[in-house]
Structure 1
Amino acid sequence: MSGPGGISDLDKNRALAEWLEWQLRKARNRVRELEVQEERERRRREQAHAALRWKIRPQRSSSAALVHRGDCALYPVEGGFLTREETMIAEETMIALAEPDIEACQICKPETGLVDG
């Protein structure tokens, strides 16, 4: 049945449904964009935090133990990090680096972060 303007209630409701579906698609796309953005930011924060930590690869039969920065890709292990905020650990790490059987990674140069600041 048409109203005074010539558009039926059915047509009005179909148009409304299409508009609401368009709005829902826009909102879902925006949610996906924000989720991707949030995940990127989380990874960036984790990487920045890892750069402020250190890890020690245990000694192997053919090589010395190595101290790495937390974000060094040559020793990608989770957990067991030493942090700069733990002053005693940073000092102990510097002492460990002075030992003949413990070396600093030549790629990530962890001693730079220990003595700076």
Structure 2
Amino acid sequence: MPGPEGISDLDKKRALADWLEWQLRQVRNRICELEVKERQEVRARERARAEQSWKIQPKRSGETALLHRGGCGLFKSELGFLTRDEAIIAMAEPDIEPCEVCRPETGLEQYS
């Protein structure tokens, strides 16, 4: 039955439900946007950390172990990264050579 304004309680509740569903879609869309942004920020932090680190590609038969910059794509490592001091020590080892692509020694020679 229509109220004093001419709109029934049922129509009001339907309108309210539609509006609440619209609001919920807006909130869910914003959550998705924030999740994407968060993943991008995490990847950016990981890349920045990798660029300030080093990693060692283990020696294989007939090959020399190689020191890489953390962000070098020639060697993907599941192991942890080395600090600058650890990389300096690694470069002093006779059986570890720097990668010819990422040139990790350039970041080490500046301050050594």
TM-score by length of 2: 0.90
Matches for 1:5-16 after TM superposition, within 5 Å: 5-16=5-16
Aligned to 1:30: 30
SS of aligned partner of 1:67: strand
Structure 2: how far apart are the matches of 1:10 and 1:63? 79
Deviation above 3 Å: which 4+ runs of structure 1?
Answer: none
Question: Which residue does 2:90 correspond to in 1?
Answer: 93
Partner secondary structure for residue 80 of structure 2: coil
| Alignment coverage as a number of residue pairs | 111
Does the C-alpha gap of structure 1 residues 80 and 42 become closer, same or farther in structure 2, counting only changes over 3 Å?
closer
Superposed CA deviations along residues 74-98 of structure 1, whole A, max 9, x for unmatched, are 11012232112xx3x24312313xx
**TM norm structure 1:** 0.86
The aligned residue for residue 111 of structure 1 is 105
In the alignment, structure 1 segments of 5+ residues that lack a partner are: none
CA distance in 2, matches of 1:116, 1:49: 19
Q: Which residue of 2 aligns with 1:45?
A: 45
Q: Percent same amino acid at aligned positions?
A: 59
> Whole-Å Cα distance in 1 between the matches of residues 68 and 30 of structure 2?
40
Q: Distance in 1 between matches of 2:80 and 2:13?
A: 61
- CA RMSD in angstroms, aligned pairs only: 1.4
Do structure 1's residue 75 and structure 2's residue 72 form an aligned pair?
no
Q: Which runs of 5+ in 2 are unaligned?
A: none
Q: From the superposition, tell whether residues 95 and 17 of structure 1 become closer, same or farther in structure 2 (CA, over 3 Å).
A: same
- Partner Cα separation in structure 2 for residue 77 and residue 4 of structure 1: 72
What per-residue deviation string (whole Å, max 9, x for no partner) do you get for residues 23-75 of structure 1? 00000000001001100110110011011111111222222111011111111
